[in-house]
């Protein structure tokens, strides 16, 4: 993309054609770019000219970081005792 402000109608700075069209373009997202909870990732395609006869788009998002999911914990009790249940397959989590 060219330098400066990019809008949805900004043309690409160069053309990708021939066998280069089948080469995956990759990008790494720094961890601080994501927040706990829901993240929204938006992408768009920019062609160099408005009369281009082809366009292709294939997207994949993957992570090399494994984030443990907290297991369900059940707590019950009365005035004299408390029962805490943690699944046997809770992995790295323990009580």
Region of 16 (left: φ > 0; alpha: ψ -120 to 50; beta: rest) is beta
Between CA 32 and CA 41, with CA 37 as vertex, the angle to 5 degrees is 65
pTM over 0.75: no
- Average pLDDT, integer, range 59-85: 78
Residue 83, pLDDT > 90, answer no
User: Across residues 58-66, what is the average pLDDT?
Assistant: 77
Integer Cα distance of 13 and 46 in angstroms: 9
Q: How many angstroms separate the CA atoms of 15 and 10, rounded? A: 14
Answer whether residue 94 shows pLDDT above 80: no
């Amino acid at each position: 993309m060219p330098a400066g402000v990019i809008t949805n109608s900004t043309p690409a700075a160069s053309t990708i054609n021939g066998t280069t069209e089948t080469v995956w373009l990759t990008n790494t997202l720094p961890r601080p770019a994501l927040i706990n909870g829901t993240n929204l990732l938006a992408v768009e395609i920019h062609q160099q000219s408005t009369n281009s006869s082809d366009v292709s788009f294939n997207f994949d998002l993957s992570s090399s970081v494994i984030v443990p999911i907290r297991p369900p914990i059940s707590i019950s009790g009365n005035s004299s005792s408390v029962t805490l249940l943690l699944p046997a397959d809770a992995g790295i989590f323990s009580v």
